């Protein structure tokens, strides 16, 4: 659904949007597989070797579940094990006091190392296994799951006291490993993979869709499995969608009716990569509805957010004509708020004008540029002398509060 329609209704996705979308295998213009982190395998091995003794300590603690420890030791011994690979990576990064600002970031480094050494299907299985385990780390003081670089003996002792366990069904811990950068790269490789590799990944990932977070990860990585996508909302309450990173379920959608079924607003995910992926998956009409809802939602807390959201409208068909401009011309306009027409708007008004927080509109918007007919102009009261409480400043604020909240033509 990247390029659709013809004539005025044609939609051609801007090149900048194409580059950042989370690729789908079942759409046209599938990009090539992204490049791997340079020397990822050697870098990951060096990190593991540097803390090998500490890893053995963690795996031997009573709090670490036996099945996870056994899989990790098997992987360390040379027997490829996706669960063991995920467990080793999970504890190696904090033991090396890495952070999300490390170069390369630990999430990309370890996943790319698995892709390079064991293949794409193995890495997809390991990423899904990762969603089923959790590290209880007493040294962690941030939501990312990575410690602050202190390097003290006390911190070292706390790191060596971390344990690995299975995720409980009522938990949704989204740690440092679950990032849109690592997910987009792995999904892009799956989208560009040969048929046999993709089928292998589907089989491997399908065997570990147990925890709610694993189901969300599987639906994101392999969005062609529509039954996995629809499983996200099939049993209300099982997967707490509001506790997931918004890009994870939103980028899994592939049918126009699915955003309404999912029931998740764009919220803080009004970002170029998510919007471009939704356009690729569910189409223009469904995305425009989500954008209009977001414009009137509680997440538009500032001018910059509103301006960013409004910037998505001009390239979309149906948002380009806004009626005659203030100069009298009848050519195409770039005013996003007047789509959909007033009759199709949820409140009977145009989309942007029903938001009390909608600022930063382009100058073409009739609300800000169209002249007021003479028959509807209000006579302005004589301005009071400046200074003091009776200055004209308060009357200006009063006039501003009386402005219409709809476009002149709506």
Q: pLDDT at position 384, please?
A: 47
Residues 6+ apart with CB under 8 A from 296: 351, 354, 355, 358
Burial category of 19 from C-beta neighbours within 10 Å (exposed 0-12, middle 13-18, buried 19 and up): exposed
216 & 243 share domain: no
Q: pLDDT at position 348, please?
A: 40
Answer whether residue 34 is part of any domain: no
206 & 148 share domain: yes
Contact 129, 177 (CB under 8 A): no
212 & 266 share domain: no
Domain count along the chain? 2
Q: pLDDT at position 278, please?
A: 96
264 & 199 share domain: no
The single-letter DSSP state of residue 24 is -
Answer whether residue 381 is part of any domain: no
Answer whether residue 396 is part of any domain: no
Pairing of strands 11-12, 163-166: unpaired
Place of tokens 């579940």: 65
Q: pLDDT at position 211, please?
A: 94
277 & 249 share domain: yes
Answer whether residue 255 is part of any domain: yes
- Which of 191, 222, 253 delimits the end of a domain? 222
Q: Which residues pair with 165 in a beta bridge?
A: 134
202 & 286 share domain: no
Residues 6+ apart with CB under 8 A from 206: 218, 225
- Which of 195, 222, 249 delimits the end of a domain? 222
Which two three-digit tokens encode residue 254?
């592939």
Q: Which of 136, 133, 162 is nearest to 68 (CA)?
A: 133
User: Residues 245, 251, 255, 261: what is their CA dihedral angle, to the nearest 10 degrees?
Assistant: 0
Answer whether residue 217 is part of any domain: yes
Answer whether residue 395 is part of any domain: no
Question: What pTM did the predictor assign?
Answer: 0.77
Q: Give the residue numbers spanning the domain of 173.
A: 40-222
- Tell me the pLDDT tens digit for each residue of 62-121: 999 999 999 999 999 999 999 999 999 999 999 998 888 889 999 999 999 999 999 999
Answer whether residue 407 is part of any domain: no
81 & 181 share domain: yes
Spatial distance between the Cα atoms of 132 and 87, rounded to a whole number of angstroms: 10
- What secondary structure does DSSP assign to 90-138, as a single string? HHHHHHTT--TTSSS-HHHHHHHHHHHHH-HHHHHHHHHHHTTEEEE-T
Q: pLDDT at position 353, please?
A: 41
Residues of the chain with pLDDT under 50: 5-7, 320-410
Report CA-CA distances (Å) from 263 to 83, 259, 270. Answer: 32, 6, 15
66 & 215 share domain: yes
- Which of 170, 188, 222 delimits the end of a domain? 222
263 & 309 share domain: yes
- Tell me the pLDDT tens digit for each residue of 9-22: 678 899 999 999 99
261 & 214 share domain: no
Place of tokens 């900048």: 16
243 & 178 share domain: no
Spatial distance between the Cα atoms of 237 and 402, rounded to a whole number of angstroms: 44
Answer whether residue 359 is part of any domain: yes
203 & 54 share domain: yes
């Amino acid at each position: 659904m990247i390029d659709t329609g013809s004539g005025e209704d044609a939609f051609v996705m801007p090149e900048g949007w194409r580059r950042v979308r989370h690729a789908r295998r079942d759409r046209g213009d599938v990009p090539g597989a992204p490049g791997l982190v340079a020397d990822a395998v050697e870098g990951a091995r060096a990190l593991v070797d540097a803390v090998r003794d500490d890893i053995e300590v963690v795996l031997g603690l009573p709090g670490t579940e036996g099945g996870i420890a056994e899989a990790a030791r098997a992987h360390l011994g040379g027997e490829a094990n996706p669960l063991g690979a995920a467990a080793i990576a999970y504890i190696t990064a904090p033991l090396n006091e890495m952070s999300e600002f490390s170069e390369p970031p630990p999430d990309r480094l370890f996943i790319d190392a698995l892709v390079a050494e064991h293949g794409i299907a193995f890495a997809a299985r390991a990423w899904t296994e990762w969603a089923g385990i959790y590290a209880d780390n007493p040294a962690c003081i941030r939501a990312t799951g990575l410690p602050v670089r202190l390097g003290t003996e006390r911190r070292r002792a706390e790191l060596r006291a971390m344990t690995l366990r299975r995720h409980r069904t009522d938990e949704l811990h989204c740690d440092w490993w679950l990032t849109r950068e690592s997910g987009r790269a792995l999904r892009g490789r799956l989208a560009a993979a040969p048929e046999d590799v993709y089928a292998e990944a589907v089989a491997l990932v399908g065997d570990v869709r147990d925890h709610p977070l694993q189901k969300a990860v599987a639906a994101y990585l392999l969005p062609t499995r529509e039954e996995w996508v629809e499983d996200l909302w099939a049993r209300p309450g099982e997967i707490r969608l509001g506790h997931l990173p918004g890009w994870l379920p939103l980028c899994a959608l592939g049918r126009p009716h699915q955003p309404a079924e999912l029931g998740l607003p764009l919220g803080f995910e009004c970002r170029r990569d998510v919007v471009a992926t939704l356009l690729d998956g569910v189409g223009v009409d469904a995305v425009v509805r989500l954008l209009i809802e977001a414009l009137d939602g509680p997440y538009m807390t500032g001018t910059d957010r509103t301006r960013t959201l409004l910037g998505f409208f001009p390239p979309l068909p149906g948002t380009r004509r806004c009626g005659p401009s203030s100069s009298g011309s009848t050519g195409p306009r770039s005013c996003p708020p007047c789509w959909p027409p007033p009759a199709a708007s949820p409140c009977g008004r145009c989309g942007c004008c029903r938001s009390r927080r909608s600022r930063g509109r382009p100058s073409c918007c009739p609300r800000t540029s169209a002249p007021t007919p003479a028959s509807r102009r209000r006579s302005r009261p004589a301005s009071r002398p400046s200074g003091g409480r009776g200055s004209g400043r308060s009357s200006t604020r009063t006039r501003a509060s009386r402005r219409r909240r709809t476009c002149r033509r709506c």
